[in-house]
Amino acid sequence: MTNTTVRYLFASDWAPPVKSGSTLKVPGATVDGLDTGANLLNLAIWSLREQGLVQVEQLRPVEDERVRVMGGQSFARVRALGKGEDLPGLEGALLAKAREEPADGMLARFSDRLSGDDEHGLRGLLLSLDMGGGAPWAGVAGYCFGEAQAAGLVEKQGRLFKKPVITDPPAVDALRDLDAEIVATRKRYRREQEQLDHAVIADCVLALDWAHSSSAD
């Protein structure tokens, strides 16, 4: 079970309540999709870095952006470190994209010129994920749900409006110590790498916002 999916299973304990139209159903709650999806992406990138599977670098200081073209220029860059085994869930999807060679087609080059983004820019990596239609945060959570479902921990239940429900409470409870360890390790990292973490979460928020707004056009 990847770190990101473990945290997803306990999202009702930490994810923010709905504050806009970006609703997201997680096990036991309905939360704000944009914030929750961005935090899951940030966690997944951090987890891949902790495992030595990717290198994460800050490209420029985080600043307010009033205008973005094709998603905008990333604050951070993510490079895969060699080849290796595949991972499940959101971490696996991100790692697979990071391992791909930068696209070299005419359309890709045109998009790069428009956005001015780094060829390993985090926003481009995130926007290359399959995040579904107008609710990209649901696509992000879907990767975590899929991993947990394959492990027999959750299912979607309900007649009219289906929602993720924990189907094996003892197995999920057994992950609480690991969840607490992830939280503690993350806190230390954020204290030591505050600027880098800020850059990554900002890219995650802006990529999801762009994916949502561009799909609504």
Of the pLDDT bands very low, low, confident and very high (cuts 50, 70, 90), residue 97 is very high
Rounded to an integer, the average pLDDT of 44-72 is 90
48/76 Cα distance (integer angstroms): 15
32: closest CA among 5, 44, 47, 14?
Answer: 14
**pLDDT higher at 193 or 162:** 193
- In the chain, what are the domain boundaries? 3-216
Specify the pLDDT at position 161.
84
> Which whole number is the average pLDDT over 111-126?
81
Contact 38, 24 (CB under 8 A): no
Q: Taking residues 144-166, what's their average pLDDT?
A: 94
112: pLDDT strictly greater than 70? no
User: Which pTM value belongs to this model?
Assistant: 0.92
Number of DSSP helices (H) and strands (E) in the chain, helices first: 10, 6
Is residue 11 predicted with pLDDT exceeding 50? Answer: yes
